[in-house]
Amino acid sequence: MIYISEGLLYICFAILTGSLLLRLIPERLRPSIHVPDGVLLACVAAIPVLSFVPLHSLAMLFSTQFEISYGEMMRSILIDVNSGKAWVWTVVGSAGLIVLLGVKSFRKDRHLPKIALFVTLLLIVWLGYASHASSLSPTKGLIIHTAHFLGFTVWIGILFVAGWFAKDDRNWPAFLGWFSPVAIGAVILTLAAGFTLMTFTTQDYVKSWILPYGQALLLKHALILPLLVFAFTNGFLYRKMSLNNESFSPRVWLKAEGVVALLVLAATAVLGQQAPPHNVQETLQVESPSPLFTRIFQAPYSPDMDFTFNWTGSGLMLFAAALIMLGGIIAMYRARRPAFALAMGIFAAVFAYLGAMFSMA
């Protein structure tokens, strides 16, 4: 349940951020997009509810361990713990957003969407304040986690809203003209901040694959590969096709890219609710290895063993298969087969994941 709530939380942020950003873009630079007010209000209302789920689980666990009431433990979390303090401010910010979105003139007003976007940015900052990285380094961790989540939310949020809520195929060349550089910048920010976050949470990347956290991180990285290829087609091939063919609609391709993005969000949701393995050997003393790891890695191992990445024949073959699948995404684009491109993207991630696992020594 906690992983589902975390994944839905990220989707709500993406839809909200993408919708508000697109409302600031002139109509001549985008297709007609209509996100129902009910959807936006539901996303805003869900944010404090979904972000409360991990606090509830924490209070239930600690109230049992320390033999105190649930209410007393929850009060302590909200007052003393970063994630609890952040949730209080999230409730305040979400209430303010609901008021803004409920104003009748919101859709036609030039300034209210800007205020709503600013409040959404504050909600993202508070999410970063509640993160593992922020607890380890209050300033640096907060900035890096916020930048990582903001970059991904801007990129995927605009992608989701344009792909699923566009009502026509007007102005796609103009839309891709500004969205492509925005997406490239957001991708660079997301990757740079993400790799920096790993210096906080996962100092021994390969050995962390023994643990559920490391497996989720590896799966996320494997899924990012096809997502980047879809982003490449979005930034270059879609735009070229739309300029040469006015009837071309990239909406179905944006939806395919959005499905891969949802899988990345699912892996990120698991990461967000797992304790990062600062020391894998110590973590293994209190936590069981990942079932995925024990199924694939058949050789004997112990917590005190060192693991390295070693190029093996099986690993190289799987990585080659992953590259073929990634190339197949572009080939399917040229053949206009989005379903096949999506399938190849998923296979590429699976092959890349298995290639990494079979290269673990």
Question: Which residues does 210 contact at the CB level (< 8 Å), separation at least 6?
Answer: 280, 284, 289, 290, 293, 297, 301, 307
Q: Which residue from 250, 232, 240 is spatially nearest to 184, judged by alpha carbons?
A: 232
pLDDT for the residue 278 = 67
Kindly report the pTM of this predicted structure: 0.89
Regions of the chain where pLDDT drops below 50: none
Tokens of 234: 């979005």
Predicted confidence (pLDDT) per residue in 114-141, tens digit: 898 999 999 999 988 888 777 777 788 8
Task: Give the whole-angstrom CA distance, residue 215 versus residue 209.
Answer: 5
Reduce the DSSP state of residue 310 to 3 states and report it: coil
Q: What is the 3-state secondary structure (H, E, C) of 223-262?
A: HHHHHHHHHHHHHHHHHHHHHHCCCCCCHHHHHHHHHHHH
Predicted confidence (pLDDT) per residue in 268-278, tens digit: 877 766 767 76
pLDDT for the residue 95 = 93
Question: Which residues does 268 contact at the CB level (< 8 Å), separation at least 6?
Answer: 6, 7, 10, 152, 220
The fold for domain 2-296 equals Formate dehydrogenase/DMSO reductase fold (1.20.1630)
pLDDT for the residue 1 = 65
pLDDT for the residue 273 = 67
pLDDT for the residue 244 = 67
Report CA dihedral (14, 130, 267, 36) to the nearest 10 degrees: -20
Task: Give the whole-angstrom CA distance, residue 155 versus residue 158.
Answer: 6
Task: Give the whole-angstrom CA distance, residue 77 versus residue 90.
Answer: 15
pLDDT for the residue 248 = 65
Task: Give the whole-angstrom CA distance, residue 298 versus residue 303.
Answer: 15
* 233 alpha carbon, distance to own chain's centre: 20
Cβ(47)–Cβ(91) under 8 Å?
Answer: no
